[in-house]
Structure 1
Amino acid sequence: MGVQESAPLDVERIREDFPILEREFDGNRVVYLDNAATTQTPNQVIDAISDYYRTTNANVHRGIHHLSQEASIHYEEAHDTLAAFVGASGGREEMVFTKNTTEAENLVAYAWGLNELEEGDEVVLTEMEHHASLVTWQQIAKKTGATVRYIRITEEGKLDMNHARELIGPDTRMVSVVHVSNALGTINPVGELADLAHEQDALIFVDGAQAVPNRPVDVESIDADFYAFSGHKMAGPTGIGCLYGKKSILEEMEPFLYGGEMIRKVEFEDSTWNDLPWKYEAGTPLIAQGIALDRAVEYLEGIGMDRIRAHEEWLTEYALERLGAFDDIEIYGPPEAENRGGLVGFNLDGVHAHDMASIMNDHAVAIRAGDHCTQPLHDKLGVAASARASFYLYNTREEVDKLVEAVDDARQLFA
């Protein structure tokens, strides 16, 4: 199937908002294809961070003065913005700010898992899980006596849903699944997995780090009990992530961190906890980052999440067509662009992924090489590492061509 010629987005206009894309190395304009690791930040978000420190910098919830009140309002409203962005009708009470997706996963694992899991219980993951999920639940299981089981993947890199139905049973207490694989690009049927979990009175945690940045997400339509994502993968700043949790569950859980801000009343003998979401945000929170992430959501919604999704699919389809034309390139994950996120993991015969990334760098093409925090998945694939090109709203088809040119250079060097 051929690839449509016109881009779904006005990329040239969008690129004007991202000054870093003007950088050159040895006369070559940077081609940034490492977006699954971190996306670039538009001027609007950079300005939001600068404006906060220039005009509003103060601690929140702790001062009567104007600056503190203003900062508090902006910070609280950011929670509402992020909740609405992922379809959480409970607003700020269901949206906890964390440092990243990994901390969100740990919050649930420690606050819920340590208190709820015991010997004989099972946690069901997938073979494509990021270490943020796999390692966290693996270690919690060791502490509680629970067992971790893994849903198999098919040869195409999709979840074996028949195996999922076998694994998710009466002993299952938690299902933790990545929405979009950061190594395979696979889009998982998280709504169906949520149904399977709830049929067994289990909970489901969805890692949405690779989904929220580039497609519309509705946590209530999925019926996720928990859903986590990171700001730096969605045109926002580093150092902030989000955890959606159903209010009824968050209210019952114990806090993960203790100290200032998360308390209501402290006595020498005992303490009680603050309202949601502040119960889970101990100490001085991520004020500047939260306000800037609010601006990032405004930026993305101004473009349109459906259009961003269409653009990534357009680029992915083209990359699959170009790379798939060579017999010496192995591509990992589903063969259809509509079943993938905006990334392509691959290897060139006879060339280690790290060597590939180095050659790409000589062309000022930025990709990622390694196991992408999915070592068990790469063991299953039978490779030590893979190269990964990942796209976002400012990438072009011409940049995919430069990627392919660099692959051909690697082929010639290692021939």
Structure 2
Amino acid sequence: MLDIQKIRADFPILSEKVNGKPLVYFDNGATSQKPQVVIDAIATYYQEINANIHRGVHTLSQLATDAYEISRVKIQHHINAKFSHEVLFTSGTTHGINLVANGFASILKPGDEILVSALEHHSNIVPWQMLCEKTGAILKVIPINEEGELIMETFDALLSEKTKVVTVNHISNALGIINPIKYMIEKAHAVGAAVLIDGAQAVPHLKPDVQDLDCDFYAFSGHKMCGPTGTGILYGKEEWLNKLPPYQGGGEMIKEVTFEKTTYADLPHKFEAGTPNIAGGIVLGTAVDYLNHIGFHNIQKQEEKLLEHATKRLLEIDGLKIYGTGKNKASVVSFNIDGIHPYDVGSIIDKLGIAVRTGHHCAQPIMNFFCIPGTIRASFSFYNTIEEIDTMVEAVKKAKTMLS
């Protein structure tokens, strides 16, 4: 059992007050809060070893380089990648997806097909639309049902020898639905398609095993898993990363440059042009260490309790509807109250110190499917409590009374 109060003491912001009320932070799907060990690690880098990496023979450069590459290896082990050079540092999930989509521009031809799901965040839709415009490929959509689950029968039917890429999120950011990605990867590979998994919403809650999943690419962000903003990882199988051209040109990603010809560096540097977010990359390793110290089994048990309690309590409110009611869910509850705009509810409960997300959550196709403008999304982390959920429920009740 986790000592939640001890864990909460690791997060300075959780003792803050907002509008004179104790902060109840339920916007973890947008970004998680940071433990003191992560905050301290950022300062330590700049105070003690700040230098550019991979390029200097001086001591500080070597220390910074070592710390950066140690972090890469930590993340390799965390996701069970076969090689450390299959782990690319990015600025976040969006960067990783765009890197892959850009690379496929040299591979796809007119008439090839890309499958995306109706559950995707815009960052896993728009890059593929841009790719289709560039190559003449065709974008096809895996639909969802009223519970917010992907319709697997339609997915199976959409797959063909024309399918070259399947891209789907591990967990829906808007609904919390956990997708059957292992099944989808196996089926996609059977027709020769590559598979990219958007893991942004998954990595705060579980440890993805990329070799067990057998995905070709897995992208995620550091800031959703207690790490710094502006950090992320793209895992890619070595064979695929060798096939794709560089995403950006510049320093670090080259082996030799002349005006006649440039040759590219080996993995992973081929995809890491320019000076990276060095502090962020190093401290992402610190965040991974912290989460592993807590233990993902413990994290999952705590978040299951929070989800169960929140679902039960919210459904006590007349006229409240939850969207995303499938069996397999992460700790996200997305809901509306009949006749009340989600923004109005979010604004009122913010005055009571409660942070939730309102709107379409960068997932407008989901909202269009349900014929709604958006939802109120409460997304929980392991440092949240049952008492905080009860506080939110009472605040939502108050908002409903005021707005009815």
Q: Pick the TM interval, shorter chain.
A: over 0.9
1:72 equivalenced with 2:65 (yes/no): yes
Classify the secondary structure of the residue corresponding to 2:132.
helix
Q: Tell me the matched-pair count.
A: 404
Note the aligned Cα RMSD (angstroms).
0.9
Q: For 1:289, which of 257, 261, 280 is the aligned residue? A: 280
| Cα deviation digits, residues 65-110 of structure 1 (max 9, x gap) | 00000000010111111111111121x2100011010010000000
Match of 2:334 among 345, 353, 370: 345
Overall identity of the aligned pairs, in %: 47
Q: Distance in 2 between matches of 1:313 and 1:382?
A: 29
Deviation of 1:260 after TM superposition, in Å, equals 0.2
Counterpart of 2:388?
A: 399
Q: Which runs of 5+ in 1 are unaligned?
A: 1-7
Q: 2:372 aligns with which of 362, 371, 383?
A: 383
User: Does the Cα contact within 8 Å between 1:308 and 1:393 map onto a contact in 2?
Assistant: yes
Alignment of 1:230-241 (within 5 A): 230-241=221-232
Gaps of 5+ in 2: none
Tell me, yes or no, if structure 1 residue 150 matches structure 2 residue 127. no
Q: Confirm whether residue 104 of structure 1 aligns to residue 93 of structure 2.
A: no
Q: Report what 1:14 is aligned to.
A: 7
3-state SS of paired residue (2:105): helix
Q: How far did residue 251 of structure 1 move?
A: 1.2
Counterpart among 321, 330, 347 of residue 321 in structure 2:
330
Quote the residue 1:118 is aligned against: 109
Aligned to 2:81: 88
Paired with 2:344 and 2:109, the residues of 1 have a C-alpha distance of 45
Deviations 1:103-153 (A, max 9, x none): 100000002x21111111000010011101111101111111001011111
State the distance in 2 between where 1:135 and 1:305 align.
Answer: 32
Q: Deviation at 1:25? A: 2.5
Equivalent-residue separation in structure 1 for 2:75 and 2:162 (angstroms)? 34
- The 8 Å contact of residues 177 and 326 in structure 2, kept in 1 or not, is answered as no
Pairwise CA distance, 1:334: 2.2
After TM superposition, the structure 1 = structure 2 runs for residues 130-145 of structure 1, keeping only pairs within 5 Å, are: 130-145=121-136
CA contact (8 A) 2:345 2:400 kept: no
2:162 to 162, 171, 191: 171
Runs of 4 or more above 3 Å deviation? none
TM-score normalized by the length of structure 1:
0.96
Summarize deviations over 1:15-39 as a string: whole Å, max 9, x none.
1110011111243110000000000
Match of 1:373? 362
Aligned mates of 2:198, 2:300 — CA distance in 1: 18
Q: After TM superposition, give the deviation of residue 292 of structure 1 in Å.
A: 0.6
Paired residue for 2:43? 50
Match of 1:409 among 381, 398, 401: 398
Give the letter for the 1:23 counterpart: E
> Which residue matches 1:4?
none
- CA, structure 1 residues 335+161, in 2 after alignment: closer, same or farther (shift >3 Å)? closer
Q: Which amino acid aligns with 2:101?
A: A
Letter in 2 for 1:104: G
Counterpart of 1:158 in 2: which secondary structure? coil
* Distance (Å, rounded) in 2 between the aligned partners of 1:310 and 1:382: 33
Other structure's SS at 1:187 match = coil
Q: Which amino acid aligns with 1:178?
A: N
Instruction: Report deviation, 1:335.
Output: 4.8
Counterpart residue type for residue 216 of structure 1: K
Query: 1:36, 1:125 → 2: CA distance?
Result: 21
TM-score (norm 2): 0.99
Q: Does the CA-based 8 Å contact 2:148-2:326 persist in structure 1?
A: no
1:212 touches 1:234 (CA, 8 Å); kept in 2? yes
Work out whether residues 111 and 138 of structure 2, in 8 Å CA contact, stay in contact via their aligned partners in 1. yes
Determine the structure 2 residue equivalent to 1:127. 118
Which stretch has the larger CA shift, 20-29 or 46-55? 20-29
Cα deviations by residue, 1:323-354 (Å, 9 ceiling, x for unpaired): 12233011011254xx1011110001121111
What do residues 25-69 of structure 1 show as CA deviations (whole Å, max 9, x unaligned)?
243110000000000000000111100000000000111000000
Which of 199, 203, 210 lines up with 1:219 in the alignment? 210
2-structure distance, mates of 1:317, 1:297: 26
After TM superposition, the structure 1 = structure 2 runs for residues 237-276 of structure 1, keeping only pairs within 5 Å, are 237-276=228-267
